[in-house]
Structure 1
């Protein structure tokens, strides 16, 4: 289980990135696509809008396990969150998360029957980050290649 402190740490990173790559599985193939988070806090669930008839919805009906990855190349931080997905057409929830940017992707408004929300209940997360610049990372990689040591280029934390 991911603690509230860990949720806060993860949110402090992904709220700035906003767009993550949602990976689904249709039973045979994996597929990723960029998705924009629509919430303003993280309680353990990630929320995205989608068209109810999209391939994402079909794929999540085949396999409820998904992964969303966020990357911030400028700060050398990468987050992967895994969990189970559900689809909601609840108008109160859609209204809560609706904004003009979301509206640009859909005809009508949140009450349209074609508009749905994807909720991912996050069960595990992983964070990779480094404070070393590219030259230091290259040095560590080169040193490791000639010495069989593991390069010291950052750290990795697992949650859940």
Structure 2
């Protein structure tokens, strides 16, 4: 894999890295009453600009996503001062092959029959944009953070970035 070279590419890579590291996120959907509904979810797959979660096909979140595909995925690790927020488009899919590929035993308490459970579905979130905050950047991201801060006339160690995904 080639190293990201543009600020947007670096921000996309950083947002994905934070999500991959944190793994437990809050998935926010639109409730039937028009409000927001948030719940903790475990990321079971992260491929390019797609985040995967397991769900029950008849769960409230599945119904909410069926009515409104716009979601927010928010993650934080306060101990490391890392935070990321992703706006995306969600869909609920039942794909036995993909479910088997992403299966983790962590899901067995909810789906005792495993990856082939009739109630099991996947939530696919296609990331549209992301914003992150990291107070302890390292490596190439540290250099990028320093250059960005110099360009924007800011000081400090915190790294902040925004990225667009897709076209």
Tell whether the 8 Å contact from 2:9 to 2:163 is kept in structure 1 after alignment: no
Q: Any idea what SS the aligned residue of 1:113 has?
A: coil
Provide the TM-score with structure 2 as the length reference.
Answer: 0.76
Q: CA deviation at 1:70?
A: 0.6
**Runs of 4+ residues deviating >4 angstroms:** 2-5, 150-153
Tell whether the 8 Å contact from 1:24 to 1:65 is kept in structure 2 after alignment: yes
Q: CA deviation at 1:151?
A: 9.9
Provide the TM-score with structure 1 as the length reference.
Answer: 0.79
Separation in 1 of the partners of 2:157 and 2:13? 24
Instruction: Label 1:155 to 1:8 Cα distance change in 2 as closer, same or farther (>3 A).
Output: closer
| Cα deviations by residue, 1:135-155 (Å, 9 ceiling, x for unpaired) | xxxxxxxxxxxxxxx996834
Partner of 2:29: 24
Instruction: Label 1:89 to 1:4 Cα distance change in 2 as closer, same or farther (>3 A).
Output: farther
Tell whether the 8 Å contact from 2:11 to 2:161 is kept in structure 1 after alignment: no
Q: CA deviation at 1:109?
A: 1.7
Q: Any idea what SS the aligned residue of 1:106 has?
A: coil
RMSD: 2.4
Tell whether the 8 Å contact from 1:88 to 1:116 is kept in structure 2 after alignment: yes
Q: CA deviation at 1:5?
A: 4.2
Q: CA deviation at 1:8?
A: 2.6
Tell whether the 8 Å contact from 1:67 to 1:81 is kept in structure 2 after alignment: yes
Q: Any idea what SS the aligned residue of 2:25 has?
A: strand
Which runs of no fewer than 5 residues in structure 2 stay unpaired?
Answer: 1-6, 137-153
Aligned length in residues: 141
Q: CA deviation at 1:11?
A: 2.3
Instruction: Label 1:153 to 1:29 Cα distance change in 2 as closer, same or farther (>3 A).
Output: farther
Of structures 1 and 2, the larger Rg is shown by 1
* 1:159 and 2:163 aligned: yes
